[in-house]
Amino acid sequence: MSKYSLRRRGLRVASLATSALLVAGGLSLATGSNVGAGASAAADGAADSWARYVLGPDSPQVYPTAFADPRGDVTRPEALVERNGSMTLTTRPGETPASVVLDFGKEMSGVPFMDVVRTTPATPGGAAPTLQVVTGEARSFLRRAAATAVSANTPAGATVIPVASTAGLEVDSEVVIGTGEAAQRRTIVAFLPNAVPGQGAGTITLDQPLTAPVTGPVPASGGNPSVPGTPVTSAALGPASDENPGQSLVGGNDYLTPTGPGRVEAGAHPGFRFVMLTLQTPGTLVLRDLGVDFQAYRATAKDYRGWFESSDDELNRLWYAGAYTLQTNLKLPGLRGLPDGRIYDGAKRDGSIWTGDLIIQGPTAISTLGDVGEQYVKWSLDELIREQRADGHLPGSPDFNKGRLNTNPASGPNAPYEVGQGAPIYYSVNYSGYGARSIIDYYRYSGDEAYARQTLEDVREAVAYNQRFLDTEKNLIAPRNPANPEDPNYTRGDRDYFQSYMPGYVTKFSIDYYILLREMAWYEREIGSAARAADYDATADRIKAAVTSTLWNQRLGVFGQSDLKPDLVAGDVNGLALQYGFVPKGQEGRVLEALKVNWNPHGAIMGEGLVDPTGHTIEPFGIGMETGGRLAVDDTAGAFDLMRRTWGTMIDPANPLYTGTFWEFKNTEGGVNRTTASLAHGWAASPTVQLTESVLGVRPVGPGYSTWTVKPHPGDLAFSRGVVPTETGSIAASWKQDKQAGTFSMQLDTPAGTSGTVAVPVEADSVVRVDGQPVWVAGTSVARNATLADGYVTFNAGSGALAVTVAPQGAGPVTPPVGKADSEVKVKVKPGRPSTTERAKVRIRVRSTGDPRGKVTVRVDGRLVKKVRLDGSGRASTRLPRLKAGTHRVAVAYPGDEAIEPSRGRATVKVVRRKR
């Protein structure tokens, strides 16, 4: 364990162990010891400027913000939104079942609950009415035509038939059983889902008996193909959950039959924005106080250990949407029958850890939640390593196959896996490499040296597995079928994130393996063998040379998708090529321009003809590789443009698929092709990581940020600021620029005992000063080993506070972005001598180099008394409470629009006793 982290890690582990126990009781896990600048700023009100973007619910119980689509007899649905009174649902035989949709405004996860005021059967002494509860991430997912099949042979004369799914069925709607002339039309008078958790199968009761028998499915046997059961369809749009409980064993439709007043709960639902209530059977139900017990990780501003803000509101919203997406993917300890926490790929559907997703989710978790994020990553990696095969292959998902039979003799004969713990899926060679990189990344961000040493051999075995697929003559990856790696034909190829198998020498697979080798060389140099590190680097060098010489398409100015498709322009491979220096020098502009052939208003398609099995062509996971490449070569404008196209539409509340979170994928028109598409998917959170690491500019170099680099890519932004949690404290950074004047300034504060490099954008005549002393003067290095490359001057820096300025030679001094340099707060109190029965008025004026906005805090003698919002001119006013006689200090704090620390204004007020 590294010397700088020993003491803090001991505190953290103890704290998290305690926190894990608290979660089971519904309390927050965020009690770790890493309380950085983000948290402290939130506590004293200085975080108001960025905290307004935080999307996590303020309370463990969340209530709807709107209602929609009332059908049938529904009285006062607004009562559930206003939390004032009750709503009544009444369903009568032969009439439209009463239903209503409740909107929670953004992605939720948890258990819907409601208070029953009264339940009344349709007839005295009859059965109590049944309420169906379905959830969905989009309203359009909630009502669908039923399409199922008979699940077992059923004779003529039957009025009850078994079906594979009850989704979309509704009492009094017509169903068609069979097709063509043999079709039988009936009306549903009742249906009953199976009681088995996670299954949508059940039975339907018909108004008339079957006149002919119907058949169930016939499995394949003796060389004959399987035959599906008799189809059952309905044109009516009935209630249907968008979850896939057959995959995650969580969610689906709930049926509640309360018999009297009191609170009732539905089942756990892992990802939704909407809840639809339908009174399926005749009767009346009166409800009030419907809400959700939130069961993802609930982070308010005080729980953030890292934060980001810039002069661009949309980019800020992207950062926090990515952070919230990650939080909805976090399974709390104790849920789904598992004692640990895990990072699932999305809020709903798979309920599984995925290695490709962890590449983005891991850095997002740690850079936003600090110690808590680290623990979730570690829990997930533990599962990944536990399921590593003997040949070194890491599963794409260690817990994917839910509900399958466990053939492990220790579990008993054909025992099913637990609800949460599925069996692994060894998805692809490339995804095994992603798993190894996720383990290495954990060490880079966390500095957890004990875990790195513990897993070193596991990672070595994973790298060795991928090495088997390297053609050592061509020095390119040519994955064959992993079940038969000696097959010389390799026509099947390997799978990547969009699931399709790709044959040939796929350019991205070779670059991905190059990245793994470089990361492994770093890992070995830190905790392993220098000789091994040298070997990894040598292999990586050979791969890079081979990719550049073999797969570069000089005519198009891009890397082809593979040797079999040299003219196919793909954003992912070329984005990675830009990031990792594969593009021939001077050709970067050609690549950047060529990639725009894939752009459309909704993002960028993967490449002509590339599509996933569900028909989606726009994959945010891959697009993040392109935006990362554009930022790496300082095409910040192009990166921002593509971010706005891809993710900006997701965070637009007017979009019918809006959840406040990022989606798994899109089709070419910007929508999704299946209801089970995840609209809160952590692999899409690359804007959060990239805005921190490439725009604010803070990246780890040594483990746990023991060494770091700060290199902003400002683009056309006026400023950016933020905090990054590290193993020994927080890195706080703030910069601003005036492009017209050619000036740039930065304030940096880093933990004691760390060091790194700082790179700032310059022009030919720029002078770079650090703490007022020149380090670079118009092309000449004068201190701190300053060097110039690609429009940046880079210099060495130690820990502590650092002020950097860049200005043209001969220009006046540039003020770094801190304190009153950015804003000034003036405070006046009138009357200045109020009596003890009067309330003095405070008038506030904020002058700023930016656009004063947000709230200011007003304190009297150190006690917070008000938060007041500034108007468009930077002014605000409020009244103080009545004060005791004596002199009181009034302090107003403005968080600043370009600073880390708030600006403050002060005044005094002398309160006198009222004369009788």
Average confidence (pLDDT) over 593-610: 98
185 and 143 in contact (C-beta within 8 Å)? no
Mean predicted confidence (pLDDT) in 377-385: 97
HEC string of 533-552 equals HHHHHHHHHHHHHHHHHHCE
Q: Which residues does residue 73 pair with via DSSP β-bridges, in sequence order?
A: 90
**Which pLDDT does position 861 carry in this prediction?**
86
Q: Does an H or E element contain 424, and which?
A: strand 423-425
- Mean pLDDT in residue range 306-327: 98
> Which one is predicted more confidently, 894 or 367?
367
713-760 pLDDT per residue, tens: 999 999 999 999 999 999 999 999 999 999 999 999 999 999 999 999
Q: Calculate mean pLDDT across residues 497-521.
A: 95
Q: Report d(CA 347, CA 354) in Å as an integer.
A: 13
User: Would you place residue 201 in the very low, low, confident or very high pLDDT band (cuts 50, 70, 90)?
Assistant: confident
Query: By the 8 A CB rule, do 308 and 319 touch?
Result: yes
How many whole angstroms from its chain centre is CA 539? Answer: 34
pTM for this prediction: 0.85
Greater model confidence, 746 or 911:
746
What is the rounded CA–CA span in Å between residue 529 and residue 579? 27
CATH classification number, 820-911, choose in 2.60.40.10, 3.40.50.150, 3.50.50.60, 3.40.50.300: 2.60.40.10
Measured distance CA(108)–CA(816) in Å, rounded = 41
Cβ-based neighbour number of residue 527 at 10 Å = 16
Distance CA 38, CA 47 (A): 7
Q: What is the pLDDT of residue 409?
A: 53
Identify the pLDDT of residue 42.
Answer: 35
Beta strands in 798-832 (DSSP E): 800-808, 823-830
Domains 703-817 and 820-911 share a fold: no
Interatomic CA distance for residues 795 and 799, integer angstroms: 13
Percent residues over pLDDT 70 in the chain: 88
Question: Binning pLDDT at 50, 70 and 90, where does residue 250 land?
Answer: confident
Give the DSSP letter string of 574-606: HHHHHHTT-SPTT-HHHHHHHGGGGEETTEE-S
Q: What is the pLDDT of residue 608?
A: 96
**DSSP characters over 818-848:** SGGGTEEEEEEEESSS-BTT---EEEEEEEE
Give the pLDDT of residue 894: 86
CATH architecture of 703-817: Sandwich (2.60)
Residue 402 is predicted with a pLDDT of: 80
Higher pLDDT, 632 or 809: 632
| Residue 159: count of CB within 10 angstroms of its CB | 15
Whether pLDDT at 220 is above 60: yes
Provide the token pair at 829.
């109190």
Instruction: State pLDDT tens for residues 805-857.
Output: 999 987 766 776 653 345 789 999 999 889 888 899 999 998 876 667 788 88
70, pLDDT greater than 50: yes
> Which of 641-655, 808-822, 880-894 is the least confident region?
808-822
Mean pLDDT in the chain?
89
Per-residue pLDDT reduced to its tens digit, 386-407: 999 999 999 999 999 886 555 5
* The pLDDT value given to residue 37: 40
> Is 634 a residue whose pLDDT tops 90?
yes
Per-domain boundaries in the chain? 6-51, 61-218+229-294, 552-680, 703-817, 820-911
Predicted confidence at residue 243, as pLDDT, reads 86
Per residue in 663-682, pLDDT (tens digit) is: 999 999 999 999 999 999 99
Distance (Å, whole) CA 243 – CA 197: 13
Range with the poorest average pLDDT among 51-55, 486-490, 529-533: 486-490
Whether residue 158 has pLDDT greater than 50: yes
Count the alpha carbons within 13 Å of 150 in the hemisphere toward its beta carbon.
27
- Torsion over CA: 852, 858, 864, 867 (sign): negative
Reported as a single tens digit per residue, the pLDDT across 804-819 is 999 998 776 677 665 3
Contact 661, 107 (CB under 8 A): yes
Per-residue pLDDT tens over the stretch 404-430: 555 555 555 555 555 568 889 999 999
- Determine which of 37-51, 368-382, 736-750, 779-793 has the lowest per-residue pLDDT on average: 37-51
- Res 695 pLDDT > 70: yes
Q: What is the pLDDT of residue 331?
A: 97
- In sequence order, what are the beta bridge partners of 847? 824
Give 915's pLDDT tier (boundaries 50, 70, 90): low
Instruction: Report how far residue 753's alpha carbon sits from residue 227's, in angstroms, rounded to the nearest whole number.
Output: 68
